Amino acid sequence: MTDVLDKITPDETTDAPTAPDARHWRKEAKGDLIVLWLDCADTGTNVISEAVLRELDTLLDHVKAAQPKALVIRSAKPGGFAAGADIDGFAGLRDDDAVQMLQQGHTVLDKLAGLPFPTVAVVHGATLGGGFELALACDYRIGIDGVKLGFPEIQLGLHPGLGGTFRLTSLIDPTEAMQMMLTGKSTHDRKAKKLGILDALVPDRHVDAAIDAAANGKMKREHGGFRASALRTGVARNLAATRMRSESEKKAPRAHFPAPFALIDLWEDHGDDADDMQKAEITSFANLLGTPTAQNLIRVFFLRRTLKSAGKGEDGIAHVHVIGAGAMGAEIAAWSAMQGKRVTIEDVKLDPLGSAIKSAARIYDKKHLSGIEKRDALDRLMPDPEGLGRSRADLVIEAAPEKLDLKEKIYASLVDVMKPGAILATNTSSLKLSSLVDAAPDPALFAGLHFFNPVSQMPLVEVVSHDMASTDTLDRLAAFTTGIDRLPARVKDYPGFLVNRILAPYLMEAMVMLDEGYDKEDIDRAALAFGMPMGPVTLADQVGLDICLEVANSMQEGLETPVADTPAWLREKVEKGETGKKAGKGLYDYNSEEAPDTPADDPDQQIIDRLILPMCNAAVECLRKGVAPDADTIDGAVIFGTGWAPFRGGPLHYAKTRRDVPRVLEQLADRHGPRFTPDPGWSDLA
C-alpha cells in the first residue's frame, strides 16, 4: 500500500481520516498513547476485510516507529467492535488463493501481537469472528458492560481462520475455548471476564482508567491455570478430543458438518505448538471453504441479507398494540418492547396479561439483558385490559385464536377507534386474508404479519399482501420487521401462505405414515438424519396438533396439489385434548416418552423422500404461482421459518443439486397417490 501516513504524527488529535487511502481507520494521539479507531466507511457495522487489514498493516508500522507508551484499538461504531470477517471478500476464494489471503491476514495480526509496547483492545457490543481475533492479538482486552464475544464461524461451516484457534486455546482453559468455537455461541460480558478472555470489565465511564492500568502494567491478569496446562499435553488432549467428537456427532454429524471435526483434529494434533497450529489453521480453513456444507451455509448468510434488504426504510411505528395475550401475542409483545417499541397488550382475561409479563421477563433474562435494559423493556410493555392502546397505536397486531367469527368481531370493534394511518395486521397462520379483509376497518391498511413460534428464537416474519393492501402498508410492515430485528419475507395471500404451505406436507405425510404403521421414532430419526432440526412427529406435537389440524383443513381447498388427508384418529386426539407437548400428551406421551434427538445411523431413504420431496414440490408450486418473488426468498423463508436443513441450502437449492426429484416424485405418485404429482413448475426450475 502506498505510504501516505507520514504527515500524521503521534502528537496530533484528529477525527479526520488518517489519509485519503485510510478509509476505515482513524488515528488519535492521547498524551503518550496512540488510539486506532476502527470505523469502516459507508456502513454502520465494522467488518474485518482485506482493506481493513491492509490499512492496519501500514498504520502499525507508523505506530511502531512512534514508540508510544501503549497502543489502544477501539471501534467508532456505537453498535459494537466488529461483527466478524467480510464474508463477501472470501466466499468465492479457493485453494491457493484462500491460503494466500489468510497468510496475509495472519501477518498483520502477528505484527500487532509482536509490538514492543502494550497493546490494548477496548471492546463493546458485538465482538465476533475476525473482530474477536483482532482483539485476541492484543496484550489486554478491556470489555465495556454488555459486550459479547464469540466465534460464529461454525455456523458457516468453518472455524476461526485469523489465529483464533491457537490464541484463544492458549489464553483460557482450552476446553472452554473449544466449546465456544464448536458451538458458535457468544459469551457475554461477565462470563468472558470469568473465563479470562477479558482482563477488565468496566462501564463506559471507567474505560480511560482501565486503559491507564493496562498501559502501566497494573492490570491483574488471569490465565487458564493447572487445568489449561494439563490439557496442553498430548494424552489429555486426545481424551478431551474423543469426548468432543462424540458430542459433536450427536448434534452435527461429520457427514454433514465437517468443520467441528476439523477444529477438534486441529487442536488435538497441534494444541501444544502455536506455530504449528497457526499453519494448520490456515490449511484447514482453506480446505473447509470449498466444501458443499460451507458453500451452502455461506449461501444461507446471503439469504439472510437478502430477506433483510426487503425491509429498508422507516416504519413510522412507535407504539404497537397487541390484541390477544396467548403464547404468540405475549411473545410478539415482549420482543417488540425489547427492540425499543412502546407496546400495549390486551386480552379478555387478566390472567394471560400477568403471564405475558412474566414470560417477557424470562425472555429478557435468556437474551442476557442487563438489569437496566430489562427494566426499560418491561417499562415499555404495558398490560392494557381496557384496550386503551387501540386508539393510540401506530400498529395493531391481532393475535387472537384462529376463528373467523372472532377475528371479524375484533375488527368490527376497531372501526372508528384506530387512529388515521394506523395499520391493522393479523398474525393468522391458517386463515386466508381474503376471508378477513372485508371486516377490516380499512382494507388498504390491513395485511398479514405472520410470526413464527417462539418469536424470540425464530427470525422470520411473513409480510402477507392481498389485493387491496397498499404498497405503503406493506413497506412499513417490512421495515417494522427489520426494525425489531426479524427477517421479513414478502409473500402473497395463499393457503398456508409460503412457509406453512411448504411445511404442511412434511407434517401431514408423517401422519399418513403413522397411519400405515411406521414407527414414530423411525420417522423422526430419518428426518434428523437428513438434517432437519426436529422430526415431523415431534414438530407436530411442538406446534400443537390442534394448530396442525387447522392448517391442514385450510389447505384442503385451493391447492392444485393436495396435502395428505387428515387421519380420523388425529381429529379424535385433538377432541380428547391430546394436543401435543403443551398438553403433556400428543403423538408422544411426555409423561413416559422422550422424542428422539439423534439421527438414524442408516436412515430409510424412502421415509426421507416421502417427507422432504413434497416440500420441494410445494416450493416449486409457490415459485410458479408467485407466492414469493423469487427462489432465494423461498429458500431463505423456509430455512429461517422452520430451521430446514441449512447446510443443504434450502428446498429449491437442494432440488436443483439433487436433479432427480421430479422423477422420484412420479414414482411416489404411482405408489401413494396424486399428492406427490410433480408440479408443472419443475420444467422452469432447471
Whether 462 is a known active-site residue: answer yes
- The question of whether 500 is a catalytic residue gets the answer yes
Give the containing element (helix H, strand E) for 583. none
Q: Read off φ and ψ for residue 81, nearest 5 degrees.
A: -75, -60
Do residues 136 and 164 make contact, with C-beta atoms less than 8 angstroms apart? yes
Q: Which of 268, 346, 398, 462 is catalytic?
A: 462
The side-by-side arrangement of strands in the sheet containing 33-38 is 25-30, 33-38, 70-75, 119-123, 140-144, 200-202
Give the three cell numbers for residue 302.
446471503
Grid coordinates given for 123: 471492546
Phi, psi of 496 (to 5 degrees): 80, 0
For the chain, give the number of residues.
Answer: 686
What cell numbers appear for 186 in the block?
A: 457468544
Residue that has been written with the C-alpha cell 497450529 in this structure: 277
Q: How many CB atoms sit inside 10 A of residue 79's CB?
A: 12
H or E segment to which residue 408 belongs:
helix 404-414
- In DSSP terms, which residues pair with 191 in a beta bridge? none
H or E segment and range at residue 165? helix 164-171
d(CA 144, CA 3): 34
What DSSP state is assigned to residue 390? G
Order across the sheet with 395-398: list the strands. Answer: 381-383, 342-346, 319-323, 395-398, 423-426, 446-451, 460-465, 487-492
Least Cα distance to 631 among 507, 538, 498, 471 occurs for 498
**Catalytic one among 336, 427, 429, 456?**
429
DSSP assignments along 267-311, one per residue:
HHHHTT-HHHHHHHHHHHHHHHHTSHHHHHHHHHHHHHHHHHHTT
CA-to-CA distance for 423 and 248, rounded, in angstroms? 46
Catalytic residue among 124, 450, 466, 653: 450
Round to whole Å and give the CA distance between 523 and 513.
8
Amino acid at the residue 568:
A
H or E segment to which residue 448 belongs: strand 446-451
Cite the beta strand spans of 165-287 per DSSP E: 187-188, 200-202
- CB contact set of 509 (below 8 Å; sequence gap of 6+): 536, 564, 610, 611, 614
Is 592 marked active-site?
Answer: no
Q: Which are the catalytic amino acids? A: 429, 450, 462, 500
